Structure 1
Amino acid sequence: MVLLGSIVNAIAIIIGSLLGLFIKRIPERMKNLVTQSISLVIIVLGISLAMKTNQVLIVIFSLALGAVVGEWLDIEGKLDKLGQFIESKVKTKNEGSISKGFVTSTLLFCVGAMAILGALDSGLRNNHEILYTKSLMDGFLSIILTSTLGVGVLFSFLPVFLYQGFIAIFASFVPNLVTQHLLNAIIAEISGTGGILLLALGLNSLGVMKIKIGNMLPSILFALLFVCIIQYL
């Protein structure tokens, strides 16, 4: 079953988020320290992924064009509005917590090598081991994030499932159209571009700067397109 890994990942996020909702008595200073610790890990992971690129120019152009398109489409604004819509349906004490939790966790769970590699492996080889491992990580992070950012983290299971599920289904139809060399190149440049986004997410979480990461998401697609264009020229 091609979507099994994505389904397990979504369930892990739901379970972790529900557990996180019951952890209400964590001192605020401890929550802040946990948030800062996770932010530092995200930064390290982002740097690690960014170093996987073999074509720095692809990453640069992808980020630049992705930012232009994303700003034009106002992707982050739409994500915020979606979070606010959910928030209007689910009452919470902390204003804005659902929107922030939804956007932050969606980006964290979707952007990364494991999401891409795992979904590709599910589609190409019907092997879900990578996504199973990612599920354990996301489930644990969901507990921490939900206890810190609120119930918005719970709703991130849907875009995570759709994102990874789409990649898995797409990959299942094109095993004979993509060479292993091209596949490796795509993974390297998408990982490199995604690593930059994770680095930005970590800096945002630490309050170092405010970057509209949601508006930079099209850069992932541009990285894919650039790799394919270069390979076929």
Structure 2
Amino acid sequence: MLVDFWFKTSGTWINVITVVIGTIVGVSLRQKLPSRIKQIIPQGIGLLTLWLGISMTEELSNVEVNRVPGVILGLIAIALGGALGEWWGLEEKLNGIGDWLQKHLRHSGQFTEGFVATSILFCVGPVALIGSINNGLLGDNTLLVLKAMMDGFASIPFASRYGIGVGFSSLVIIIYQGGVSLLAGVFATGMDNPETDPRLLLITGIGGLMILGIGLNLLEIAKVRVASFLPALVIAPILYQLIAWF
């Protein structure tokens, strides 16, 4: 049983380890880095985040169902998802988790900002979703190991700015990626090829829009309430399926 559990979730645990190590390195360098370097590093990460978001959003153009383009589906999903997210207060609830951890750890600094930003950044994207499915179905953790390396390096500059809150995003990685891996057999049985499934492409495109929001926040161009759009990731494939039936 334990071997089977590791077989299905190994990529997630490797990902957690790299994020924790990256956080430790980032926090240890925090007091040693000049203020100008501390400022330029998140700007560089912000620019890279914008590029990643733009790359992901292009998947929306690869989806069409009953003559309805993926861009329109994405627009409807992100609008409905944002409305639901605000109604449910997801931004405040996710911030509340960070605030609760900060209070109980009695840690000063931008704990919540780091926790929220990296939790979304590390968990929203095609590699996290498809990699978790592959790990759960086939025991293939290749994609998640690649993601783990990227997340580990990204954790260093994030932790140098936000502090230990970045490391606690590993809890979200465990819940999200581990959960998807364990439930992959249930949710992915109807997918011939997860990498080209239009429902996953929609999720990827909408995730890209959310990643763009994180990039704008990092560059302090805008204050996008990214967490409020999380329901859109569920609405998009449901909307696709409903239109496909008509």
Shorter chain as normaliser: what TM range?
A: over 0.9
The question of whether the paired residues in 2 share the 8 Å contact of 1:182 and 1:228 is answered with: no
Say yes or no: does 1:25 pair with 2:17.
no
1:64 counterpart residue number: 79
Say yes or no: does 1:16 pair with 2:22.
yes
Say yes or no: does 1:75 pair with 2:81.
no
Deviating above 4 A after TM superposition, structure 1's stretches of 4 or more consecutive aligned residues are: none
Q: CA deviation at 1:205?
A: 1.1
Taking a change above 3 Å as real, the CA distance of residues 56 and 83 of structure 1, as seen in their structure-2 partners, is same
Provide the aligned C-alpha RMSD in A. Answer: 1.6
The range that moved more, 164-173 or 42-51, is: 164-173
User: Which amino acid in structure 1 is aligned with residue 88 of structure 2?
Assistant: L
Q: Once the two structures are superposed, what CA deviation does each residue of 1:83-134 show, in whole Å capped at 9, x if it has no partner? A: 111111223343xx11111001101101111111211211232211000000
Taking a change above 3 Å as real, the CA distance of residues 6 and 232 of structure 1, as seen in their structure-2 partners, is farther
The question of whether the paired residues in 1 share the 8 Å contact of 2:136 and 2:185 is answered with: yes
**Aligned partner (choices 140, 147, 163) of residue 134 of structure 1:** 147
Q: 2:232 and 2:97 mapped to 1: Cα distance? A: 21
**Aligned partner (choices 236, 240, 245) of residue 223 of structure 1:** 236
Q: 1:13 and 1:103 mapped to 2: Cα distance? A: 14
The range that moved more, 29-38 or 14-23, is: 14-23
Say yes or no: does 1:89 pair with 2:104.
yes
User: Which amino acid in structure 2 is aligned with residue 88 of structure 1?
Assistant: K
The range that moved more, 14-23 or 30-39, is: 14-23
Calculate the TM-score normalised by the size of structure 2.
0.89
User: Which amino acid in structure 1 is aligned with residue 137 of structure 2?
Assistant: L
Calculate the TM-score normalised by the size of structure 1.
0.94
The range that moved more, 15-24 or 101-110, is: 15-24
Say yes or no: does 1:44 pair with 2:51.
yes
Map 1:98-137; keep pairs closer than 5 Å. 98-137=111-150
Q: 1:143 and 1:182 mapped to 2: Cα distance? A: 30
Quote the sequence identity (%): 31
Q: 2:97 and 2:87 mapped to 1: Cα distance? A: 18
Taking a change above 3 Å as real, the CA distance of residues 43 and 36 of structure 1, as seen in their structure-2 partners, is same
Q: How many residues align?
A: 231
Task: Please list every run of 5 or more consecutive structure 2 residues that lacks an aligned counterpart in the other structure.
Answer: 1-6, 64-69
Q: CA deviation at 1:175?
A: 4.5
Q: 2:48 and 2:195 mapped to 1: Cα distance? A: 30
